[in-house]
Structure formats: C-alpha cells, structure tokens
Amino acid sequence: KDVLLLNGPNLGMLGQREVGIYGTDTLFDIEKAVGEEVADRGWRVVARQHDSEGEMIGTLQGHYGAVGAVVNPGALMIAGWSLRDALANYPRPWIEVHLSNVWARESFRHESVLAPLANGVIAGLGPLGYRLAARALLSVAAD
Ligand code: DQA
C-alpha cells in the first residue's frame, strides 16, 4: 500500500529556502521521516513535489489507489482552485500540512481554500508536522 506525500511549489528547495522560516531539513529528510512513521504498517511512501498546479492535479488523479495523502500545497493553499477541485474528488483521506504557522505570518496566508476539504490540518510544527500527519493517516486510513 502506498501513502502519497505531495509537496507543492518551492518545497523542493527546503534546506535552502528561507531557512529562518522553513528550517534546514531537506524534502528528502522529510520523505524519509514519513516513511519511518508508516513502515510498521507495511506502507510505502510515494513522494512527489511539483512547482506547478497542473502537475499536482495529475499526481492526485494518478494515485486514487493510495491509502491516503499528506499534502503541503505551498502557496496553492491561497488560491489553488483547480487543485481544490482535484482534492474534492480525491477518494482517500488526506491531511494538509504547513511547516510554518501560517496564522503568525502575512494575512494572505491566513485562509486556505483547500483546508475545508482536508481530514485535518497541521501547521507550525516544522518537519514534525509531516510525521504527525502520517500518524493521523495510520488512524483514519483503511488498508
Ligand atoms: C507553506 C506555507 C505557505 O503559505 C507557503 O506559500 C509555502 C510553505 C508551509 O509549509 O509553511 O510555500 O505551505
């Protein structure tokens, strides 16, 4: 069984992206961490990162067979309406993750158009948030 770990625009730069906000862990570190969390269940992580909304949508459409998804949409949280429609049709549980506490930042980050569709949202806990999201899937996703 696969868990989809889907990261959006600019998250491939983690480790060298505004490290004061996003920290020094790379996306590879995060992918490894999520893999550790779900290994005991026999789940495997399929990790994808895209800088464009269309590719995000294509990956979602291609992984309806996953047990669930952990999604950090990056700035697509703000106005990613097509991604929202794709998530509305996603047949598995999914958790929205943000490394930073978006409500402690600029007001344009305070509302996610995606969050109302998520099973849950984790923000502000850095890379730990991805681990917690994986644990949430262990509880809510069916094998
Ligand atoms: C982010 C928060 C977004 O507002 C921002 O555009 C990102 C990263 C986070 O993980 O904190 O790209 O999703």
What are 6's two structure tokens? 């889907």
Q: Which domains does the chain have, with CATH numbers?
A: 2-140 (3.40.50.9100)
Whether the CB-CB separation of 50 and 81 falls below 8 Å is answered with no
Which amino acid appears at position 48 of this protein? Answer: R
Provide the residue-wise pLDDT of the chain in tens; the chain has 143 residues.
999 999 999 999 999 999 999 999 999 999 999 999 999 999 999 999 999 999 999 999 999 999 999 999 999 999 999 999 999 999 999 999 999 999 999 999 999 999 999 999 999 999 999 999 999 999 999 98
Task: Compute the distance between CA of residue 62 and CA of residue 92 in angstroms, rounded to an integer.
Answer: 12
pLDDT in tens, 40-66: 999 999 999 999 999 999 999 999 999
Decide: pTM greater than 0.90.
yes
List, in sequence order, the alpha helices (H) in 4-91. Answer: 19-22, 27-39, 53-61, 76-79, 81-88
Atom 9 of ligand 1, nearest CA residue = 98
44 belongs to an annotated ligand binding site: no
pLDDT of residue 53: 99
**Catalytic site residue 64?**
no
- Return all residues near 107 (Cβ < 8 A) that are at least 6 apart: none
